[in-house]
Structure 1
Amino acid sequence: MLPLELDNETGILAYIGHRIQSCLPKELFDQLLDIQVDSLPPGPDDVLPIFNGESGDLINAMPTPYALRLPRSKLQKLLTTGIEIHYSKRIREIESNRNSATATFEDGSKETANLIIGADGARSMVRQVLLGPQKAALQMSPLLASTCLAKLPVESARLLAEKHPRLNLTIHPARTILWICVHAKYNDTKPGDGVYTFIMSWVSDRDPKELQGAAILSDMKERATQFAHPFKQIVLSIPDDTVCSHNRLSYWPTEPWDNRNGTVTLAGDAAHPMTFHRGQGLNNAIDDAAQLVQQLQGLTDRTSHQEITAAINRYDEEVQQRGREAVESSLENSLMLHDWDRIMQAAILTRGMQKDAVH
């Protein structure tokens, strides 16, 4: 079993499980160790330390045995090996008949296939086509988040490494969470040249558009002043010219979609976009891929479309149930982590980042 975490260039997702191995040819799976964000080999004693942001005390060292951390760009390159991809395509509409579906793109081009899989992200146009804009719309959580990638001064990098060589989660009773992890740091990386991911989230009803440009980092540093050593010092040392992003966290409680007689379905964030604090997004996306492969294995050009439809119906039923439970669990966990009175009930503390069971 390989716990696997995906660095989102400005964020973090996580996967705990073994199904990624069933989705990849052996020659690609064997390369996962080579594309980590750092040079640390995975081991049985790997943990995610969780700290009290007010006191600096360790709350929990959550086991993550044999954890891999992978940058999105390198993983994407690996996963697309040997696959022809056409970029800058945006779905406008999908027409289906009994046996196939035709996608029309905004540039006027069309593609017809026995099955169209909408894996086009949280703001999926395929989801909108299947459900309509209103039913497919993302819902807004009460949480805002600011993120950035940054190099740190040598002393700050040292302080961070003393807490954990890779990552840590710090939770402040004032309903603010700070996540810091390595984005790129190898054996030959000089002190102060490593790159780190920072995510800070909190409860707020403010319009996210109120924070833009340099004001985002200024706000992060202001919030960091309430944190204990060394987390306060580390955030305050982020270079002032660092580019940050800021937005409200969103989600979509998965509901059944019309698969157009088994010719169109959804996968990944298109099927179950969720808040990130439990790292269940990548987990479920890989489960989707494994489940789809499982259902389609053995089908050939001679397979009747009735059999294909039955396979897609089975896939949809499993994904929709699992996806909704994951979305709801992730949202509840995110809210608990920002509520000190309920924090010890949060799933990341009681169950870690392991996959939720689906009954």
Structure 2
Amino acid sequence: MTITIPSHDFHVIIVGAGATGLLIAQGLKQAGISATVFERYLEEEYEERSGKWTMALHWSLQHIEACLPPKIFEQLKSAETNPWEEQDPTEAGSIPVVNGRTGELLARVPMPHPKRIVRGKLRDLFRKDIDVQFGHILTDLQVNNEVVTATFNEGEKTVKGAVLIGTDGARSAVRDHLVDTKTGQLDKANAMILNAYPTFTKEQALFIRMADLVDIQKPETWVFQFTLSIWTDEAPPTSDEERRHLFRSYLSTYCEPYRSVAAWLADDIYISGESFHYWGNITPWDNYAGKVTLAGDAAHPMVPFRAQGLNNAMEDARLYVDAMKAVVLKNESLKCSIDVYDESAFKRGKADIELSNDQMFAYHHWDRVMNGPLMKGGT
């Protein structure tokens, strides 16, 4: 089946229905620019993969507001881990860094209006009133004259549009068409990541307190995220039992409430194990005279040790929407507009990939972090 967009219409093909692609879709819809979002996973699997992973949202709020309809932006608090909490203004401008063994406050990292966001909640909020085409795996991409042709599912469907943007994550299929295989290869971070999302009894939950609150009146429903990062080039243990043992052995040496968490974890709690990857060899990509480009993790996958990935992605979304508005509504050059966009995404991404790697190393090496800019009020 082939879908042909009428030549008089400027249509944007968005590959990837994560927060970045959905925010772009919202911004284009606000501007009256036609767009379609394609997602590789079937809807049921997409829902299951939404995840409880939490992220720091801070300096990019202005970019989100610029793209969302007011009625949806007003609901942003619903994506927070605790939608009922009113932040203390004396603490809302920084993130505390504590000594895990003693609980001593080491520093406060300046961070404007920080919010702890649940990934799945944010994605679902951005998806409101946006039609997503599920089960579409990009298998080919061609640019001929004024038309971009995306082929999905080995030819089951082809879609034609004026431009295409890849927002399909760190292992982007779109990026594979814009850089060669060697250049686009990701590097594995030298860290093992273990994640747990437990619930506890009412009394235990109130003791721990920080959580994704399902029901403020029922602490036993609160979902907590505990992430342990270990400096090693080894892969995480393959068995559930080994990951649980490793997780508990580390947490039991820390201060409260982590020591109690280690004791209270259910014997059958699932502990995920993974490794982060980043684009250490990031390079400008071929945008085919502005017709194809990247945003978010597809453009600059980085490790999450400075809380910059999501915020850069939100800025990408806003700048791409602005570029499309300039092209469609003001008749400005597509190539020039996207060249400017790409330069911003590349430069910001390259800088934050490098800084995030430096911070990752520091977080795992005591002398480095204690003598670094973090302890002097920087990031």
TM over 0.5: yes
Residue 185 of structure 1: how far off its partner (Å):
4.5
Matching residue of 2:251: 224
Q: Deviations over 1:275-322 (max 9, x none)?
A: 112111101000101111222223228937xx1111111111111011
Find the counterpart in structure 2 of residue 313 from structure 1: 339
Residue in 1 that maps onto 2:10: none
Structure with more of its chain in helix, by fraction: 2
Q: Which residue of 1 aligns with 2:190?
A: 142
- Distance in 1, matches of 2:328 and 2:322, equals 14
Q: Is the 8 A contact 2:163 2:291 kept in 1?
A: yes
Residue 221 of structure 2 is matched in structure 1 by 193
**Residue aligning to 1:159:** 207
Classify 1:11/1:349 alpha carbon distance in 2 versus 1 (closer, same or farther; 3 Å).
farther
Match of 2:89 in 1: 44
TM-score normalized by the length of structure 2: 0.79
Alignment partner of 2:116: what SS? Answer: strand
Is 1:334 the counterpart of 2:376? The answer is: no
Aligned residue in 2 for 1:179 = none
The question of whether the paired residues in 1 share the 8 Å contact of 2:57 and 2:114 is answered with no
> Which residues of structure 2 form unaligned runs of 5+?
1-49
1:174-228: CA deviation from partner (whole Å, max 9, x where unpaired): xxxxxxxx2235432x2333110110001112133x3332321221001223223
> Which moves more between the two structures, 268-277 or 214-223?
214-223
SS at match of 2:171: coil
For the aligned residues, what is the CA RMSD? Answer: 2.2
User: Structure 2 counterpart of 1:329, which letter?
Assistant: L
Q: How far did residue 268 of structure 1 move?
A: 0.4
Cα 1:291–1:64 change in 2 (3 A) is same
> Shift of the alpha carbon at 1:64?
4.6
Corresponding pairs, count: 323
| In 2: Cα distance, 1:137 partner to 1:347 partner | 31
Take 1:352 and 1:151, find their aligned partners in 2: how far apart are those partners? 34
CA contact (8 A) 2:165 2:294 kept: yes
Aligned partner of 1:277 in structure 2 is 305
Inter-partner Cα distance in structure 2 for 1:139 and 1:255: 14
**What SS class does the counterpart of residue 124 from structure 1 fall into?**
coil
The CA deviation at 1:24 is 1.4
Partner SS, residue 277 of structure 2 = strand
Q: Is the 8 A contact 1:151 1:192 kept in 2?
A: yes
Q: Report the Cα distance in structure 2 between the residues aligned to 1:346 and 1:227, rounded to whole angstroms.
A: 23
Paired residues of 1:252 and 1:274 also in contact (CA < 8 A): yes
1:16 CA drift (Å): 1.7
- How far the C-alpha of 1:259 sits from its partner, in A, is 0.7
**In the alignment, which residue of structure 2 is the partner of 1:13?**
55
Written as runs of structure 1 = structure 2, the 5 A alignment for 1:160-179 is: 160-161=208-209, 166=210
Are positions 1:238 and 2:268 aligned together?
no
Structure holding more strand per residue: 1
In structure 2, how many angstroms separate the alpha carbons of the residues matched to 1:349 and 1:91? 45
Q: Indicate the residue corresponding to 1:25 in structure 2.
A: 69
Aligned partners of 1:62 and 1:236: how far apart in 2?
30
After TM superposition, give the deviation of residue 347 of structure 1 in Å: 5.8
Alignment of 1:26-105 (within 5 A): 26-38=70-82, 39-45=84-90, 46=92, 47-64=94-111, 66-105=113-152
Offset, 1:63: 4.9
Q: Distance in 1 between matches of 2:201 and 2:161?
A: 53
Q: TM-score, normalised by structure 1?
A: 0.83
Q: Which amino acid aligns with 2:355?
A: S
> Aligned in 2, Cα 1:118/1:290: closer, same or farther, shift over 3 Å?
same
- CA drift of 1:51 comes to 1.6
2:275 pairs, out of 248, 264, 275, with 248
